[in-house]
Amino acid sequence: MHEIAPPLTPPVRTLMGPGPSDIHPRVLQALALPTIGHLDPYYLETMDRLQGMLRQVFKTKNQMTMAISGTGSAGMEACVHNLIEPGEGFLACVNGVFGGRMAEEARRAGAEVATIECPWGQVFSVAEIEEALHKHKPKVVGIVMAETSTGARQPLQEIADVVHDAGALLLVDAVTALGGILVEVDQWGIDAIYSGTQKCLSCPPGLAPISLNERAMEKIHARTTPCRSWYLDVSLLSNYWGSDRTYHHTAPINMTFALYEALRLILEEGLEGCFSRHQRHHQALKAGLTALGLKYAAQENFQLPMLNAVLIPEGLDDATIRGGLLKDFGIEIGGGLGVFKGKAWRIGLMGYAARAENVLKFLAALEQLLLRNGHSCSPGCSIAAANEVYSGCGV
């Protein structure tokens, strides 16, 4: 007789880590819609509309804008492996875990990889990138717009010009950025960009929106060697996501429905409204954390609103506090990665999680745990500081 596993009863959590984020009920409902075929006329129409909404969120007219079947890392792998041929130069800008991951992906694609680095929590200047371009002469430059491991926001507006002047393509990691802060693919001259569904889009993990402009597609079509990944080969995927709809693989139908609804929610709110909501709740959270004596890991004026990385005060144990938040309050936050392991907490306010009730619940829980573990702060100070911000912006 077969042993049958018990039914699924996942706990209800408040997801305030670096991803996945809280999922809007409408997105969960979309997941439960009837599954249809991936070449069904209704699904093909859905793909068209999904592409149209992605173009609006990316702020682009790029024809090749689509959702890769896989998580954000699949988006990274698709962009890197399609844009780079073995032996070509790739310059990776590394100021955290995910810049380093892009460099490793380029090595595995056979690129000659050079890196420039700056301290974690800081961002690159245009001059630093320009100097590296003259030195290494890469074909592609990879940079992270929103470094999830540090909470640092990398300005991009002037970088594309120096990259293009050097004859290279600009590849941007927007996994945490898309849907939380302004992303201007066309205006900023970004050649290729990838994201993930599980961050500010507030959709379950499983799809990776990407967008490639004409310069990037020309590079892909001019390859002298095939892309090393058949599954992620854009020259093949473009036949499925383009007008031909030629079968390539079985798309994740219900995840497409979920992303479709997630994008509808963002566009209903309006991009500016969405960005200002993330900023408003970030300011309230930051006021509360500052009242508790916590300091941000990213440099001032370059801090992400949706990923708040704060340094753990001396004498407090990382696992004790995070474990207490999860066990006693059902709140998940993230620990530090790399050089920040055991030294930082990563607090997400992404998409549907960016709400006043989450901010206030989290601050109350954190304050209680800090006091319980010997941290000195005035009871109620974090809530008072956050509410002062909210009262000033009409929340």
Of 231, 248, 267, which one is at a domain's C-terminal end? 267
107, 128: one domain: yes
pLDDT above 80: residue 334? yes
| CATH at 380 | 3.90.1150.10
DSSP annotation string for 196-258: -TTSTT---SSEEEEEE-HHHHHHHHT-SS--S-STT-HHHHHHHHSSS----S---HHHHHH
Query: Residue ranges of the alpha helices (H) in 137-197?
Result: 159-165, 185-188
* Whether 227 and 313 share a structural domain: no
One domain for residues 297 and 331: yes
Q: Are residues 242 and 327 in the same domain?
A: no
Task: For residue 247, name the pLDDT band (cuts at 50, 70, 90).
Answer: confident
pLDDT given for residue 395 in this prediction:
63
Q: How far is CA 241 from the centre of its chain?
A: 23
b (16+ CB within 10 A) / e for 200-236: bbbbbbbbbbbbbbeebbebbeeeeeebbbeebbbeb
Tens of pLDDT, residue by residue over 297-331, are 999 999 999 999 999 999 999 999 999 999 999 99
- Is residue 14 included in any domain, yes or no? no
373 and 226 in a single domain? The answer is no
pLDDT value at position 287?
98
Whether the full predicted model's pTM is greater than 0.85, yes or no, is yes
In a domain, 6, yes or no: no
Mean pLDDT across 118-126:
97
Within this chain, do residues 149 and 252 fall inside the same structural domain, yes or no? yes
Is the separation of the CB atoms in 307 and 151 below 8 Å?
yes
State the pLDDT at residue 154: 98
Residue 74 has phi, psi (to 5 degrees) of: -70, -35
> What pLDDT, in 10s, does the model give residues 80-120?
999 999 999 999 999 999 999 999 999 999 999 999 999 99
User: What is the DSSP secondary-structure string of 45-70?
Assistant: HHHHHHHHHHHHHHT---SEEEEEES
Based on the fold, state whether residues 183 and 105 are members of the same structural domain: yes
Please state the domain count of the chain.
2
Q: Which residue has the tokens 């694609």?
A: 109
Distance of CA 75 to the CA centre of its chain: 11
Where does a domain end: 213, 232, 267?
Answer: 267
In a domain, 216, yes or no: yes
Angle at 164 between CA 272 and CA 225, to 5 degrees: 110
CA 218, CA 147: separation in Å to the nearest integer?
A: 29
- Residue 162 pLDDT: 97
Mean pLDDT for 251-280 is 98
Structure tokens at 130: 């320009």
Whether residues 147 and 99 share a domain: the answer is yes
287 part of a folded domain = yes
The reported pLDDT for the residue numbered 165 is 96
Residue where one domain finishes, among candidates 236, 267, 298 = 267
Instruction: Using pLDDT thresholds of 50, 70 and 90, give the confidence band for residue 205.
Output: very high
User: Domain residues for 225?
Assistant: 25-267
Return mean pLDDT, the chain: 96
Distance between CA atoms of residues 156 and 128, nearest Å: 13
Provide φ and ψ at 206, rounded to 5°: 155, -15
CB-hemisphere CA count at 13 Å for 174? 29
Q: Residue 289: what are its φ and ψ, rounded to 5°?
A: -65, -40
Strand pairing report for 344-348 and 307-311: antiparallel
Contacts of 261 (CB under 8 A, 6+ apart): 24, 26, 27, 29, 30
DSSP letters of 119-148? -TT----HHHHHHHHHHH--SEEEEESEET
d(CA 110, CA 121): 29
Q: Is residue 5 part of a domain?
A: no
The whole-angstrom distance between residue 375's C-alpha and the CA centroid of its chain comes to 32
pLDDT-derived band at 394, boundaries 50, 70, 90: low
Q: Are residues 328 and 259 in the same domain?
A: no
Q: Pairing state of beta strands 331-332 and 14-15? A: parallel
pLDDT band at 237 (very low <50, low <70, confident <90, very high): very high
The 3 state secondary structure assigned to 314-379 is CCCCHHHHHHHHHHHHCEECEECCHHHCCCEEEEECCHHHCCHHHHHHHHHHHHHHHHHCCCCCCC
In a domain, 364, yes or no: yes
Q: Strand pairing of 344-348 and 334-335? A: antiparallel
List, in order, residues 6 or more apart from 104 with CB less than 8 Å away.
none
Q: Is residue 3 assigned to a domain?
A: no
- State the pLDDT at residue 80: 98
Asked, for residue 18, whether it belongs to a domain, the answer is: no
Inform me whether the pLDDT recorded for 1 exceeds 90.
Answer: no
Q: What is the pLDDT of residues 336-361, one digit of tens each?
A: 999 999 999 999 999 999 999 999 99
Share of the chain above pLDDT 90, in %: 96
Is the domain of 239 the same as that of 280? no
- 195: CATH: 3.40.640.10
Question: Parallel, antiparallel, or unpaired: how do β-strands 169-173 and 140-144 relate?
Answer: parallel
Same domain for 102 and 244, yes or no, is yes
Side-chain half-sphere CA neighbours of 225 within 13 A: 14
What is the rounded CA–CA span in Å between residue 7 and residue 118?
48
One domain, residues 286 and 245: no
